[in-house]
A and B are shown apart, each in its own frame.
Chain A
């Protein structure tokens, strides 16, 4: 399998967020049906549906293209992605009204209020999550598709 390695890398990167997206959508719809909370579902979906999978795919392509020079392990390469994605997602979410910034906390989806101190801690765990997902899941898909 030596043809189109970048295409295979893109597909390998896209797989995981594409699988997770229905979970988020289901959770939001169930919440909407169960509690009747007026979530702006169509606004929330813009980032996970349009941007995130493409970014994951392109990030995996970038890893494939640069690994001979950088020798960066896939897990660490993936852990860099939140530094790019999270500001982008936050700016987009703010413009679409998905989050509102308060003096001491941030409110997501007009329902989940999180203090800034917890957000700092959560970012660290987000890096951990990205590291593990990229190392094991994307790494596995890359091996299956003959990239790594």
Chain B
């Protein structure tokens, strides 16, 4: 028995033979699609978002304004 035959024999021992015509009781494909859709939706919802430099600059300007005019903070809260 050469090396290939030995591997074939071992594989046959390890894996039970599949019955001819054996199929799952129900169609599994819709469940796979649903699972993929759930995964991508969850990823999209929980993905950490990227903040562009422009928005950081705006936030910085807002912070500088709040520090410069702290009396305006309750007014801002009022208009929120």
On whether the beta carbons of A132 and B72 are closer than 8 Å, the reply is: no
- Where chain A touches its partner, the secondary structure class is helix
Q: Contact check: which of A16, A27, A86 meets B79 at CB < 8 Å?
A: A86
B: contact size bracket: 20 to 34
Which A residues are in CB contact (< 8 Å) with B75? 108, 112, 114, 122
Which A residues are in CB contact (< 8 Å) with B51? 136
A: contact size bracket: 35 or more
On whether the beta carbons of B61 and A128 are closer than 8 Å, the reply is: yes
A-B contact count (CB 8 A): 73
CA distance A148 to B72 in the complex (A): 33
B38: min CB distance to chain A, Å:
11
The answer to whether A143 has its CB under 8 Å from any CB of chain B is yes
Which A residues are in CB contact (< 8 Å) with B58? 128, 131-132
Task: Give 4 nearest A-B pairs by CB, closest first.
Answer: A24-B77, A125-B65, A112-B71, A128-B58
The answer to whether B55 has its CB under 8 Å from any CB of chain A is yes
B5: min CB distance to chain A, Å:
57
